[in-house]
Amino acid sequence: MATGAEFDAGYLRWRASEAHAALIGEGLPTRVQPFSFVPLAGLASVLDALALSPGQTLVDLGCGRGGPGLWLAEQARARLIGVDASRVAVADARQRQHLFPTVPHACFTVAEVATTGLPDACAHAVVSIDVLQLVDDQPAMAREAVRLLRPGGRLALTTWEGSGSAPQRFPRDLAGLLADAGLRVDAIVEQPAWAKRQYDIYARAAAAAEAGGDPAVEDLAAEGRRAQAWRHAVRRVLVTAHHPASPQP
């Protein structure tokens, strides 16, 4: 699986490409600049699931360049702690912060999602967008989410669940993975519209890459070619869960 350093090299290419930003950010506010495949309506569903109140703390595991987490924190007027293994992504996230001036507090740290170094029970909610399938020790990431959550705190996670010929990195049993970590799973909802958008983006990247000259767009096109091999063996999902203990008054 890609390391933080490998993601650093990617982010250096992707940050230099307006075409890449336009492709992957299609339909989202420009300042969000995701490196993920959740549409704006999907971020709104994630926001609903997190059920944050103003002033509460959201931890974003694998925050990338910060935009999706900052958007969520802005909508909820919540505080944000973003964690990512890529130094380049975290540097970009720190620079992006000023584009979300109503977020009451945001900070970003370079760390592994399974060993964040953050204090126990620091989060009212944890979000992770398109990260789990990239992580070597997925049970450890789930346990870390439980450790970070306050009693009753909510988790929203977007990923792909694999079966059959899907690469091993795609989790086979998300409900079991999260339950084994100590979470109560509320729902695993398949998101066909998100998947359609993802493959549409790959198709547009493939067409744009034919002109050549933009390594970031070529990265996206290459990812799309690889994805064709496992497309029918994964399902695109939003997973919601919560910490099993009752919320403290």
DSSP the chain: ---HHHHHHHHHHHHT-HHHHHHHTTTS-GGG--SS---HHHHHHHHHHHTPPTT-EEEEET-TTSHHHHHHHHHHT-EEEEEES-HHHHHHHHHHGGG-TT-S-EEEEE-BTTB--PPTT-EEEEEEES-GGG-S-HHHHHHHHHHHEEEEEEEEEEEEEE-TTS-TTS-S-HHHHHHHHTPEEEEEEE-HHHHHHHHHHHHHHHHHHTT---HHHHHHHHHHHHHHTTGGGEEEEEEEEE-SSPPP-
Would you count residue 118 as binding ligand SAM (CB under 6 A)? no
Minimum distance between the CB of residue 31 and ligand SAM, rounded to whole angstroms? 12
Would you count residue 35 as binding ligand SAM (CB under 6 A)? yes
Q: Specify the stretch interacting with ligand SAM by CB under 6 A; choose among 61-69, 162-170, 192-200, 232-240.
A: 61-69
Would you count residue 214 as binding ligand SAM (CB under 6 A)? no
Would you count residue 92 as binding ligand SAM (CB under 6 A)? no
Q: Smaller CB distance to ligand SAM: residue 135 or 216?
A: 135
Q: Specify the stretch interacting with ligand SAM by CB under 6 A; choose among 31-39, 95-103, 171-179, 195-203.
A: 31-39
Q: Smaller CB distance to ligand SAM: residue 88 or 241?
A: 88
Would you count residue 191 as binding ligand SAM (CB under 6 A)? no
Minimum distance between the CB of residue 8 and ligand SAM, rounded to whole angstroms? 8
Q: Smaller CB distance to ligand SAM: residue 35 or 124?
A: 35
Out of 45, 86, 198, 240, the residue judged to bind ligand SAM by CB under 6 A: 86
